[in-house]
Amino acid sequence: MDKFSGEQHGGTQLRARRPLAPTPPDEDAAAHAYRIADDVPWNSAGVREIGFDVPQRYNASDVLFRNLDAGRGSRLAVTGPAGPWSYAQLCADAARWGNGLLSLGLTRGDRVLLLLDDTPVYPAAFFGAVRAGLVPLMINPLTPPDLLRFYLDDSGARVAVAEADFRERFDAAAAAGSRPTTLIIVNGEAELGGGLDVRRAAPWLSSFADRLPAADTHRDEMAFWMYSSGSTGQPKGIVHLQHDMPYTHASYGRHVLKLAPDDICFSVPKVFFSYGFGNSITFPFSVGAASLLLPGRPSPAAVFDAITRYRPTVFFGLPTLYTMLTNAAEVAQADFSSIRLAVSAAEVLSSEVFRAWQQMTGLDIVECLGSTELLNVYLSNSPERKKLGSAGVRVPGYEMLLKDQDGNEVEDGREGVLWVRGHSATPLYWNSPGKTARTVREAGWICTGDRFVRDADGFHFFRGRADDLVKISGQWVHPVEVQICLAEHPMVRECAVLALELPDRRMTLKAFVVMNQKAFNPKDATRMLQTYVKRRLLPYKYPRIVQFLRELPKTGTGKIDRQALLEAGAAAVTGLSSDRREASVVPSQLPVTPAGEEPHELAASTTPALARD
């Protein structure tokens, strides 16, 4: 029977609900107490394929600090509105953060909550905490007070680091009974007191040494957490270990991105998001390249200005961002000449947006798929090898299987659920033993729940989630299949298709659509889109309800907020009669005039639902 830890871990009880790793004969019990069982074998096929190895005693701050050993101290590490930072400056500041956090009485394994925007403070505080043997939690900067309270309670974080603009959220959380022991405020002034021990970072840090030896952590020890978006329930803490960051570099970074020290990476997705974390932190710092960090809301004007001013060479976005940029008025004056590679993950990238970007920049968008559980990308196209509409081929370092419902491996051309294994995989969800058991399987395999078809060339094509089948008119339908179809229509800018329950308990499909043109007739557009789906797919798969919106709601990671749409959609369908079969167009606030043009078809080219939580 497995032994689960109930020991004290860094001053708070370790409730990971995972077996402790067996104690090796050459390791003392005190050092072993911090290890988490990682079931991925160190001689697995993926590890051998990329020749990955780190010593047993390893601290992930090496990703940053090894640049000093490599003589890169004077090289640019971070640039952006906060100014240029060299590797020497960033390492010195990280050391001050580590020393400062330890001065607060924190001990190895204690959690530190980071509620930060993308500025040089983020990598400094993150690596400082890791180097000190602490465990930073990267939290969405849009987190409201009630969710902040959950993060504080779930993690047991005693210290938080936050932007000055976010100060009041901690007051609200404290009023509800949840508070850190100490709150450190960065990038501005904020009111002190209010029942919290509040420190202003700049004067506080100045008293600490700019040198700090790395904690003697094990490669299988906790390094940091990221929380899932909570789109399917309460957010879950996804634990990552010390060796996970260098593994993503040795796999995706080295074999697909192929960064060089002269590269400047610009990730519009924020650092707290696993996709943005790799783009802005792991991959550039692993080779001595630079990261462009842009705080605030990434409006088209702000993104275009940053590209022109700081001249990034590698650009990371999301389909929603590429859609926004290609339709922005400012695009006519944009200068993309510095960019050599454009990457996209998450949601559907339409063929129209792909081609519009290609016309604007001369570059193809390289699409990929990853997850927070695996920390970054495990399926990807590349500039040299790609197929439109595909999530890509297996990234070196990751093993993959497609399995049917009975757990049998399926052949090329047949649909199956994707299973992935690699040494960047999470060993557990914090305080969620049930979710851990469902997702983290024997020998470290991750059951993603994503359905794919793999072609004879190894390219994977997304077919939806294993759990999103819905029966419409007695026939099984995958809403994502309908969404992919609608996204290919030339008049659709972006869309989402969800299953909703009618008052009589029947299920129906509802499409939420943003059109390219602002002036159109909703009734005519509904019939046009329904007919398009009927002709492209089987007739029964068309969406019975269509709602036109000015834009789709988005989560903090830039993905479509399906929970918000579900809540809005459920409220809208309650007034439908039980026998109504024709489309119901929910009135939009858009100007309505006849569209004046006939629908026409466009070749399929989308890559859906990437970078899942």
CA gap 58, 130 in Å, rounded: 11
Whole-angstrom CA distances from 59 to 145, 215, 277, 374 are: 32, 7, 17, 19
382 close to 340: Cβ distance less than 8 angstroms? no
477-586: CATH architecture: 2-Layer Sandwich (3.30)
Interhelix angle 479-487/522-536, nearest 10 degrees:
110
Over its C-alpha atoms, the chain yields an Rg (Å, rounded) of 24
- Strand ranges of the sheet holding 314-317, from the earlier edge strand across to the other edge: 85-86, 76-79, 290-292, 264-267, 314-317, 341-344, 365-370, 377-380, 393-394
Instruction: Name the β-bridge partners of 464.
Output: 451
252 close to 376: Cβ distance less than 8 angstroms? yes
- Identify which of 435, 434, 426 has the alpha carbon closest to the alpha carbon of residue 222: 426
**Stretch (H or E) spanning 172:** helix 167-175
525 close to 535: Cβ distance less than 8 angstroms? no
CA gap 380, 256 in Å, rounded: 8
CA gap 162, 58 in Å, rounded: 28
Q: Quick one: pLDDT at residue 61? A: 98
293 close to 187: Cβ distance less than 8 angstroms? no
pLDDT < 50 regions, the chain: 1-19, 574-613
> DSSP per residue over 487-519, as a string?
HTSTTEEEEEEEEEE-TTS-EEEEEEEEES-SS
User: What SS3 class is residue 359?
Assistant: helix
Residue spans of alpha helices (H) in 76-159: 87-103, 121-131, 145-155
1-15+85-217: CATH architecture: 3-Layer(aba) Sandwich (3.40)
Instruction: Give the list of residues 6+ apart from residue 437 with CB closer than 8 angstroms, or none.
Output: none
Q: Quick one: pLDDT at residue 33? A: 67
Q: Which two tokens stand for residue 25?
A: 């004969």
CA gap 545, 573 in Å, rounded: 9
Q: Quick one: pLDDT at residue 174? A: 72
CA angle, 599 then 348 then 271, to 5°: 145
- Identify which of 281, 280, 284 has the alpha carbon closest to the alpha carbon of residue 261: 284
CATH 3.30.300.30 region(s) of the chain?
Answer: 477-586
- Identify which of 2, 440, 8 has the alpha carbon closest to the alpha carbon of residue 241: 440
Q: Quick one: pLDDT at residue 307? A: 97
Q: Quick one: pLDDT at residue 389? A: 82
CA gap 372, 435 in Å, rounded: 14
> DSSP per residue over 544-597, as a string?
SEEEE-SS--B-TTSSB-HHHHHHHHHHHHTTS-TT--S-EEEPPSS------S
Q: Which two tokens stand for residue 411?
A: 């052949």
Q: Quick one: pLDDT at residue 595? A: 31
What residue type is assigned to position 372 of the chain? Answer: T
Beta-sheet pairing, 76-79 with 85-86: antiparallel
CA gap 165, 162 in Å, rounded: 8
Q: Which two tokens stand for residue 369?
A: 């798929």
Q: Which two tokens stand for residue 219?
A: 């490669």
Residue reference for tokens 């032994």: 3
Q: Quick one: pLDDT at residue 210? A: 98
CA gap 319, 559 in Å, rounded: 9
Query: How many helical (H) and strand (E) elements, i.e. helices and strands, does the chain have?
Result: 18, 29
195 phi and psi angles, rounded to 5 deg: 85, 0
CA gap 387, 406 in Å, rounded: 30
Instruction: Give the list of residues 6+ apart from residue 58 with CB closer than 8 angstroms, or none.
Output: 217, 218, 219, 242, 243
With 0.85 as the threshold, say if the pTM is over it: no
What residue type is assigned to position 592 of the chain? Answer: V
pLDDT digits (tens, 9 = 90+) for 543-565: 999 999 999 998 877 788 888 88
CATH 3.40.50.980 region(s) of the chain?
Answer: 1-15+85-217
CA gap 445, 429 in Å, rounded: 14
